[in-house]
Amino acid sequence: MIEIYTDGACLNNPGPGGWGVIILKKDKKIVFGGNEIETTNNRMELTAVIEGLKQISKETPVKIFSDSAYVINTMTKNWKRKKNNDLWDALDNQVLSRIIEWNWVKGHAGNLFNEEADKIAYSEALKIQKQIEEN
């Protein structure tokens, strides 16, 4: 089973944001991230999960690890979706016909891959903020 660790970050919330993904499959580790100029931490958390799932075949079972109660509890406990409906729709599209195990991990608590995803997300947010400041 493939494991995906995700995290999102936002400076000033709303503000410049970033997301990070770590995908572990067999002996391979895939690391990537992205950013947005004006966003929120919840949007970045959702985007990280969506982008991670886009990299995996729909036939492959996946374990997702996130420190976002917003994402995990909405997917497992049917929390109401009041905002970010565009991203919830995109996530719903990605989870269709998939076998997914959703796992919440405590953030900043020493989980190696969660910490790495956090660093990617934060560095992506800083990168976009620096670009804004230079323009």
E-assigned strand segments in the chain: 2-10, 15-25, 28-39, 62-66, 100-104
| 2-134: CATH architecture | 2-Layer Sandwich (3.30)
pLDDT digits (tens, 9 = 90+) for 9-21: 999 989 999 999 9
- How far, in Å, CA of 2 to CA of 63, rounded? 6
pTM: 0.95
Which residues are annotated as catalytic? 7-8, 45, 67, 108, 118
Percent of the chain's residues with pLDDT above 90: 87
- Residue 44's H or E segment, with its range, is helix 41-54
- How far, in Å, CA of 107 to CA of 96, rounded? 27
**So where are the chain's domains?**
2-134
pLDDT computed for residue 135 by the predictor: 76
Q: Which residue positions in the chain have pLDDT lower than 50?
A: none
Q: Which 3 state secondary structure label does DSSP give 71?
A: helix
pLDDT computed for residue 108 by the predictor: 82
